[in-house]
Structure 1
């Protein structure tokens, strides 16, 4: 695996999935080492690889990076997916952080004590707070910032696909976003990532939740 990007995470989406998406769009090959046991996690800790005792962990360019936002920003900067200047970058970051807030709510669904209530909250916030922002931003431009694809565009596609998995027809009143989805999915790297057999992970299942519980020795659902 010399020189290749290596991802250390569970065999599931979580906070690593946005990193997989961005590497895919940048057309960067990566390998994955899945955390399946408590011992693997303790070994990463004892080796000093997890600064804050958390994953994702990404090995890239001779570094071992943690914290998903920092990792995403590094990849975006390295591969020209972070705008042309400081003003572009701050807009991209605002869009990205809003999308991450929404996606993190979806990520927590498998750990919720009341999934129905959580789904209602997510749907309401998506329709009233988040999606209108992106619908307006895409009323003319084909990308969110600076006329070229950025990490925010990649995250918007990821997020809207996650929403549609949980809420059929949620984009029916957001025609600009739907058209944006169509443009994005025609990008060859994205088209391949969406095809069966790619490194894109499916929706989380009971085994994913069980593995996290065992590795971190935590009681679920989380509070």
Structure 2
């Protein structure tokens, strides 16, 4: 029997958090080995396990996979969270790309000055409420189904819920004008595997703060 996937990354959200979410949604238990220092990172590099000298890296099914999208694609495909055909996979990819763009702006907040952060949060909220969330509200309205693609739980649903919750951490009422997304959030949050991941004590990471930002800069010599 294959062991649990092992995740190599810093002890925070960053680019690994969506991988944690997807594994949790699939009901897959995983272990984590945290990169705590520059020396930890250099050891992974010198061991030759980081194809492009970068983390995240996930050990799974006898492979050491790098590049976030490759890791997510593999997990989604393996656990039937990637649609039933090419058209559905394309829709999932399209929706995931959109939510990734939004989440990337939030992830990068740790590198902002306090003044820059306040301004950027306003920018993120504006983009979320005028560019990204209206798209998903319309998708749900147009097809009248519980899920984004094929009326079946998929990676796109997991990713959108993650994006919603991250954005709500910046402004709690960000979904005020999106009733279908409010219902979607409640519905997806109550899927048993997701509900478990949202409970205290899970491997979900807390919002990133200035202390974490400083640590990341030190580890990666930024």
- With the shorter chain as reference, the TM-score category is over 0.9
- Given candidates 95, 112, 127, the residue that maps to 2:129 is 127
Contact conserved, 1:10 with 1:208, CA < 8 A, in 2?
no
Q: CA deviation at 1:55?
A: 0.9
Aligned residues: 218
- Given candidates 151, 160, 163, the residue that maps to 1:159 is 163
Q: Note the aligned Cα RMSD (angstroms).
A: 1.2
Q: Are residue 202 (structure 1) and residue 206 (structure 2) matched?
A: yes
- 1:132-183 superposed Cα distances (whole Å, 9 cap, x missing partner): 0000111111100011011010000000001111012110100001100111
Corresponding residue of 1:76: 76
Q: CA deviation at 1:206?
A: 2.8
Structure 1 residues not aligned, in runs of 5+: 219-223
Deviates more, 1:2-11 or 1:23-32: 2-11
Corresponding residue of 1:3: 3
Partner of 2:153, secondary structure, is coil
Equivalences for 1:10-159 in 2 at 5 Å?
10-113=10-113, 114-139=116-141, 140-159=144-163
Corresponding residue of 1:221: none
Q: TM-score, normalised by structure 1?
A: 0.95
- 1:70-99 superposed Cα distances (whole Å, 9 cap, x missing partner): 111110000000000000000000000110
Q: TM-score, normalised by structure 2?
A: 0.95
Partner of 1:12, secondary structure, is coil
Q: CA deviation at 1:199?
A: 0.6
Deviates more, 1:23-32 or 1:49-58: 49-58
Partner of 1:138, secondary structure, is helix
Q: Which runs of 4+ in 1 moved over 4 A?
A: none
Contact conserved, 1:82 with 1:151, CA < 8 A, in 2?
yes
